[in-house]
Structure formats: structure tokens, C-alpha cells
Amino acid sequence: MLNPKVSPIVFPKLLLTGAAGQLGHVLRPRLKAYCDVLRVSDQLDLGTAASGEEIQTADLSNASAMQSLLKGVDAVVHLGGISTEQAWAPILASNIIGMVNLYEAARLQGTKRIVFASSNHVTGFYRQDEVIDTQMPAKPDGFYGLSKAFGEDLAEMYWARWGIETVSIRIGSALPAPKDRRMLSTWISFDDLERLVVSALIAPIVGHTIIFGMSDNRTSWWDNTHAKHIGYRPIDSSDIFRHEVEARQPLIDRHDKAALYQGGAFVKMASHGE
């Protein structure tokens, strides 16, 4: 966990959606350092409110519930929704309808900054021998990636029409350690994730900015040149795991789509619940 003195900026009330999920568990105790009150939300059990926390259960697909959730909120870290490849119906409810409800609530309640957990699967069908930047066209690798591409477009529209600023973070592999050779390029440490989210919250002017969420890995397919104004400077690197990972996976099957495309296994996952 980082030193809260990295920034003197403190929000009166910050909302964290998806607080019961994997990354929600990681960021929940960390974000409290940057706000007077942290409102946490999910449909799953969130336990007992810690000091300085508010717990509010809300279904993203319920527009009325989202209006209540955003009331009095200065900024949002939006991790809520479906985070894996699934059938279309739940993705539609949480990641499409839920996103519209979130932004409509932000517009009506006067919230002006959202940090949106997008995904590297927005560009999953680029090859692993390509380096891409944030202004290249989306190539989603499934319904999940498609829904995140929609979220980025929605954020762009709400910035252009209503002045709600968003940083869309195309999160790579946010795990304690990379699991395979692909993740040597996509890995982001939990500390770097915190650095990135906080940078996205406090950057003075962001409009709608897309940024890839990765640590300072030696190998990478992603170029964040167009997001330098966010001020994110990763410190950690997957290289400390490289020897172990390469020993565990010495050979790559170049006929395997998961080894060919940046989306990895997601490019082969069923999208219809088979």
C-alpha cells in the first residue's frame, strides 16, 4: 500500500463500485487515504463498514438505485459489472445498461470525474507481435471486450456532451504475479494499479483519456504516449518473475490463438454460455 502523502488531494466523497470483487478488495483499503468518505457498493456481501466508509448495495441495471448511489459523490472508481467472458444477457445488463445508468446518474447528480475499469480485451485481437497505442481502433476478443469498448465510447460521448471527465483504464493482468509468458507483457502490480487509479483521479484535466494499465515491464505491446498527461509512472516490473515463468513455460505453441493474439485465452472462450 502506498503512502497517502503521495498526493495532498482528498475528495470529500469517493465511490468505489464492484468493491466486493478481486480488485475491489485490493483498492478498497487503499482508496480511503484519498477521500474523507469512501462509499463502497456491490451486490455481494461487503462486510462491515470500516471507519470513514459507507456501504450501499446497488444493482447497476437499476436506474433508480444508481441515482441514489451517485448522490453526493465527487468522483467514481467504477470496477462494477461483469469482468469475464460470459453469455450476452448478464453482460448486457451490467456492462451496457449498467454503464448508461451510471453515467446518467453522474450527469444528474453532478459527478464530474469517473475512473472506468476498461480492459485490455478491447484490443484482444491485435497480434502479440504488434505494438498498439490508445488511438488505434478497437478489436475486442468477445462480448466482454465488446462491452468495454462500448463503455469507452459512452465515456467519450458524456465528455463531449456533458463535460463528465473519464479515464478509461484498459487493465492488463492485475495479479500478485504473472502466471504465464503472455502476462510478462500485460502484468500490473497492485501498487502500480493504485498509482494509476490515483493518477487518473487527481490529474487536473483528462477529458476522456484511454490508458493501458501495465507495470514497467521489459516487454510490452502497449504504448501510452497519448496518456502521458495523466502522470502515471509505474515502478514495478514483471521482470523479477521472468526466469521462473520462462522455466515453467519454455515453449510457445505458435498455432495456438491464445499465443498469437494479445487477448490470450479470451480469444478462444465461448461467448454464448456453451
User: What share of residues in the chain are helix, strand, coil (percent, to 5)?
Assistant: 40, 20, 40
Locate 229 and state its grid cell.
498527461
Locate 208 and state its grid cell.
476522456
Number of C-alpha atoms within 13 angstroms, CB side, residue 209? Answer: 25
Quick one: three-class SS letters along 42-68? CCCCCCCCCCCEEECCCCCCCHHHHHH
Q: Is 213 helix (H, G, I), strand (E, B) or coil?
A: strand
Closest CA relative to residue 150, chosen from 207, 98, 223, 111: 98
Alpha-carbon distance of 183 to 219, in angstroms, equals: 10
Alpha-carbon distance of 87 to 89, in angstroms, equals: 6
Closest CA relative to residue 125, chosen from 272, 214, 258: 258
Closest CA relative to residue 178, chosen from 119, 236, 133: 236
Locate 176 and state its grid cell.
500478485
Locate 56 and state its grid cell.
450501499
The label of the residue with cell 478488495 reads 25
Just list the catalytic residues. Answer: 144
